[in-house]
Amino acid sequence: MQNFGELRLDRISRHFHTHAALRELDLTIKAGEFISLLGPSGCGKSTALNCIAGLLSLTSGEIRLDGKRIDPLPPEQRGFGMVFQNYALFPHMSVRRNIAFGLEMRGIRRAEVNQRVEKALKLVRLDNLGDRLPGQLSGGQQQRVAIARAAVIEPPLVLMDEPLSNLDAKLRIEMRHEIRRLHNELGLTTIYVTHDQDEALSLSDRIVVMRDGVKRQEGTPEELYQRPATLDVALFMGFRNVLDVNARQDGVGRITAESGAVRLGALGQAPSGPAIAAFRPDDVLLAGEEGQPAHVGTVEYCGRDWLADLTLPDGRTVLMRSPHPLTKGDPIRFTVPPERVRVFAGEEALA
Ligand SMILES: Nc1ncnc2c1ncn2[C@@H]1O[C@H](COP(=O)(O)OP(=O)(O)OP(=O)(O)O)[C@@H](O)[C@H]1O
Ligand SMILES: [Mg+2]
């Protein structure tokens, strides 16, 4: 393993003609970290990853590995491992030869190549399928070959671009565990691109949320899940309920968010005035007399629980996830714990 301390992106930008796919992204990745770039389609995730890999040149900015500039280097001199959405395996070569390819290109002795390939096959649990062609494997198995091929060269950095998006839901969750296990066992440093918040939350040490070519927020999964800094990050993190409110700050970290018949408490700081309150369906709880009145609308059975539309007296809708069955048309009262309500005002509310 070629060790390194940190990879640093310094205000990197990438334009396509006049269109800026990536704008002044700053990011530091420390050895051993698992970082996800998370954001909606077209926000610049793949562009950022391809700039790091050297597959795309920068329009401006610098990339440094332990202080040494690498952005002028071609991809092969950076030597990072890549895993793509479509696996990109050589169809006419056996699994074993696919994995060996990168080592052979580096002129490594045959005996050592064989030994490393066998070890990589075991790691991804494909030791009995080494002689098959990629076309004779399932999607999940092919993706494991792609991961073995990237990891076998023991790269300083592994870059993965939506590697699980072609797999079905069950396999995606299994492979997610596999990817994190390999990251830990091999002591890799990984940058992982996804638009799936669950994937990013479960895999990452740190998440970078992007939108329109810029970084919107960076933090641990817990920080992003609990305290999204802006409304667009909150929406991306599952705060599906969004209400226009009037916020009142009491000066000691408590906010009252009111509009019409609705009154919610929240924690934190927000200037008093027009604002947006956001919360998750999971955090809407049934309450007694002190709760907010509403009527149950459509109810969807989700297996473990129910997802219901609640209609407020002013006609607006709140989504609630309930562990108990609810009946359409019933009057209910609900509450949302103040620590689960985010209030965004002004700039932060820009969606
Ligand atoms: N070769 C290209 N020429 C022109 N525009 C491009 C090119 N590649 C990407 N773009 C544009 O740059 C922006 C960012 O694209 P990018 O592929 O980085 O998005 P992404 O976040 O990876 O999206 P997705 O989740 O759909 O893969 C998009 O608006 C895209 O249309
Ligand atoms: Mg992409």
Task: Give the span between the Cα atoms of 5 and 80, in whole angstroms.
Answer: 15
One domain for residues 142 and 287? no
Angle at 188 between CA 34 and CA 11, to 5 degrees: 50
Q: Count up the domains in the chain and report the number.
A: 2
Q: Is residue 241 part of a domain?
A: yes
* pLDDT score, position 1: 47
Q: Whose CA is nearest to atom 17 of ligand 1?
A: 46
Q: Give the distance from CA 278 to its chain's centroid.
A: 20
Q: Is the CB–ligand 1 distance for residue 45 below 6 Å?
A: yes
Task: Give the span between the Cα atoms of 319 and 306, in whole angstroms.
Answer: 10
One domain for residues 275 and 137? no
Q: Is the CB–ligand 1 distance for residue 211 below 6 Å?
A: no
| Tens-digit pLDDT profile for residues 285-318 | 999 999 999 999 999 999 999 999 999 999 999 9
* pLDDT score, position 350: 58
Q: Six-digit token pair at 103? A: 């080592």
Q: Is the CB–ligand 1 distance for residue 43 below 6 Å?
A: yes
Q: Is the CB–ligand 1 distance for residue 42 below 6 Å?
A: yes
pTM (predicted TM-score): 0.89
For the chain, which ranges sit under pLDDT 70? 1-2, 347-351
* pLDDT score, position 284: 97
Q: What DSSP letter does each residue of 107-162 carry, written as one string?
A: T--HHHHHHHHHHHHHHTT-TT-TTS-GGGS-HHHHHHHHHHHHHHT--S-EEEES
227 C-alpha to center of ligand 1: Å? 28
One domain for residues 33 and 159? yes
* pLDDT score, position 348: 67
* pLDDT score, position 351: 52
One domain for residues 204 and 240? no
**CATH number for the domain including 320?**
2.40.50.140
